[in-house]
Chains A and B, each alone.
Chain A
Amino acid sequence: MTEFKYLIQDPLGIHARPAGMLAKLAKSFEGTTVYLTKDGNTVKASQLMKLMAMGVKAGDEVTIGCEGGDEAAAAAAMEQFLKENL
């Protein structure tokens, strides 16, 4: 499992649209599962509904975990996405 933490900057947090994009990206890594953790709750980042239900807002610190396959590449792509969009 490759993990990194990220502090959400976007004032609106992970609402529907960014969640959709994040989930789409998380789904795109063959053989790698991406998890998102906030306050001890973990969901698969590819599950849009779960992701939205987390209600991640600006100032929240989330942990992204990538497991299996090319973990490092997935983690890097996720980090880049978060920096660009959130």
Chain B
Amino acid sequence: MSFVAENIRVSYGAREALRDVSLTADPGMVTAIVGPNGSGKSTLLGAMTASLPHTGEVRLNGRDIAAMKPWELAAERAVLPQAARLAFPFTVIEVVRLGLQAGTAGDRPEVPMQALSRVGLAHYANRTFQELSGGEAQRVMLARVLAQVWSPVAHGRPRWLLLDEPVSSLDIAHQLQVMEIARSFARAGGGVIAVMHDLNLTALFADRVAVLSEGQRLAFGTPAEVLTDATLSRAYGCTLRVCSPPPLGVPYILPHAASA
């Protein structure tokens, strides 16, 4: 019962965006995908959500996603896109309900409000989505995704949250809030795969980290194993120093120590 990508290749015309990348994400954990711009992070997520044509195999809880119908996939995993786009003036609560229409938690009308509360936006339920700021819109979309897979485990199978840069337009308090939501989803038995830009948040919240560079997987393991001077410097093409002060026992990255 894992989310497995094997030997994924994706090409955009002549350019190979991913070359033989494999990744296994286990339930109960937050798995982060990091790497520099253009390294193939979002492309890998795209292949795993079946939104990009690719070779290789992706298995969700043991089933090949190529053989699954859209509604079967929707019942087992939810995807938070990078940009929150919406046509027509739906209200916030209506947007969150859109996640339910795929027939997931459709029989539990209280779920959308609970999901909105979870991201701290219950009082915005009746606002029009287009009135929201970028950060609020992103949190509403997270609530929609949460509502879609509200129970982290259903019928004995883990459900999955696939998040593409979930904190990109959030302030630091809401970055922590969102990562906390992701972690508690994982702790409750679900699986989380997140494309991350911020290495410190990754170090703080991820249980497993995959580092991509130029379409290939450079490293995969716990943050302590992966977030090292050597790996990160190689991945990002600049000298980075990972610091780990004793009191926290967690690594953190200091841009101040960077030298090109």
Asked if A and B are interacting partners, one says no
